[in-house]
Structure 1
């Protein structure tokens, strides 16, 4: 199995069974607000290649500690359900979400505000696209041609590898539950390779997987797969803060995430060299409306993943 970028894994595991947050005790939000505590809890799900969350986010944490005057403690979450429950119960003050899990949290009454979404480079939008691909010599020209075909998806809980493609199919008049033979490949790489090997007539994977990762690995050659569909831009993974925090702390965190990028952190002595934040260049400002496209896709698909049910 080829290495899948962190952003892909974050989206693929958007809603999983509830699990406990590792070692997470009462946070500032459960003790009368951050103004009454010197500590904030920041939760994230580690990437597969991560050796330490503290190391992944270290420049950002140092900067936010200076901005807020609070110590920030990183906590490892086992899945997004744990992140959602942790912010609901007041045990997490700052959290990293996938776009779908953020929408699920808001749908379930968790009082949070997004303050930034991850972006891979300066000037790049905080998001990416899902591609529908077929072999280069396939007669398939659009999603409407997929009726009766074998189609590779990533996983039912994948935003980009299932939810957005399912909505695209519906708009093309194809019911993903009845009109195609669905194969859950288990990964964006496996979905694309299933098409390349002939296991599937078509499949879905992220733009980066098709354009960059698999060609770089030598798993496919440029042009082996032809793109017949592109999703709209899928929002990047957001950082969200608890609405129960002291207003001054909330503002400091909001302002901090606006400056949370490799250039700023390097210039102000928080890091040297490449200076990435958990594999990304940094964050770009977003608000709740940024994720309306996810809500629109949920309205089309009506999938249980959208409610966390």
Structure 2
């Protein structure tokens, strides 16, 4: 009886450790938000994937976009969650397993071009030779979507317009630049249109154009991960439902199956395809 009790205690104490025996893999998210917010968003996902795969997944945070990109390219971070442009930059070492689904636009999003309500600008064709405030050159919704639409009307935004990056690469600072007259027009993500309404009357900003659709954020993994682990990771994220705590933490509704080719429109906009 005593031997039985000892064995039971050993199983209770040791078994949980055996679940995560072996390699530890790192999960990170493009640091679009504060470190605290990133941790809140991805730690539940790391715990969930650890439980589902029996492999230890550790949430880590990088200091900025450049560091995030570098760590994924080096293979130091094996699981990533990033915007479509950053995904295309790391896709030689990472592959997309799933794509985020959220809101009415589901697995896609787009940028818009805004101007002051009293501006004489009326269409994309009017932007040639103008000063444009953008979120940043790595922003999908605050630059690449609009760049793609301008390409379609024969305007090379990089050579035919004057581009200024918003302070701290914030969407609201694009709106401020337009409102104050620092820029003739601004590129922002469609969902950010009312982000500065507390400071700028909504009636003072107009939407000049809605722009090209882009694929949503990618959940990617290092290509050299074991095939079974990749399959298990993909199945785990695809199984998540909107009311799951992991989805609530990530602030999305679900993931859908994704492939590298889904991001070719982003490569075209960035000039890497």
Fold similarity call, TM over 0.5: yes
SS of equivalent residue, structure 1 residue 276? helix
Name the structure 1 match of 2:255. Answer: 283
SS of equivalent residue, structure 2 residue 201? coil
The alpha carbon displacement at 1:173 in A equals 2.9
CA contact (8 A) 2:28 2:59 kept: yes
Name the structure 1 match of 2:181. Answer: 198
Higher fraction of strand = 2
Length-normalised TM-score, structure 2:
0.80
Tell me the distance in 2 between the aligned counterparts of 1:181 and 1:124.
31
SS of equivalent residue, structure 1 residue 233? strand
Residues 1:246 and 1:39: Cα distance change in structure 2 (over 3 Å): same
Q: Which has the larger radius of gyration?
A: 2
Name the structure 2 match of 1:148. Answer: 129
CA contact (8 A) 2:113 2:188 kept: yes
Name the structure 1 match of 2:77. Answer: 92
The alpha carbon displacement at 1:81 in A equals 4.1
Name the structure 1 match of 2:192. Answer: 209
Residues 1:153 and 1:80: Cα distance change in structure 2 (over 3 Å): closer
Residues 1:190 and 1:55: Cα distance change in structure 2 (over 3 Å): closer
Q: Which moved more, 1:234-243 or 1:176-185?
A: 176-185
Tell me the distance in 2 between the aligned counterparts of 1:87 and 1:153.
26
Tell me the distance in 1 between the aligned counterparts of 2:226 and 2:131.
53
Higher fraction of helix = 2
CA contact (8 A) 1:117 1:238 kept: yes
**Which contiguous aligned blocks of 4+ residues in structure 1 show a shift greater than 6 angstroms?**
none
Cα-Cα RMSD: 2.7
The alpha carbon displacement at 1:164 in A equals 3.0
Name the structure 2 match of 1:120. Answer: 102
Tell me the distance in 1 between the aligned counterparts of 2:187 and 2:173.
10
* CA deviation map 1:95-141 (0-9, x unaligned): 122211111122xx31x2212223334x6413321111122232221
Tell me the distance in 1 between the aligned counterparts of 2:155 and 2:220.
35
Length-normalised TM-score, structure 1:
0.71
The alpha carbon displacement at 1:294 in A equals 0.3
Name the structure 2 match of 1:225. Answer: 205
The alpha carbon displacement at 1:251 in A equals 0.9
Alignment of 1:99-178 (within 5 A): 99-106=84-91, 109-110=92-93, 112-121=94-103, 124-178=105-159
SS of equivalent residue, structure 2 residue 132? strand
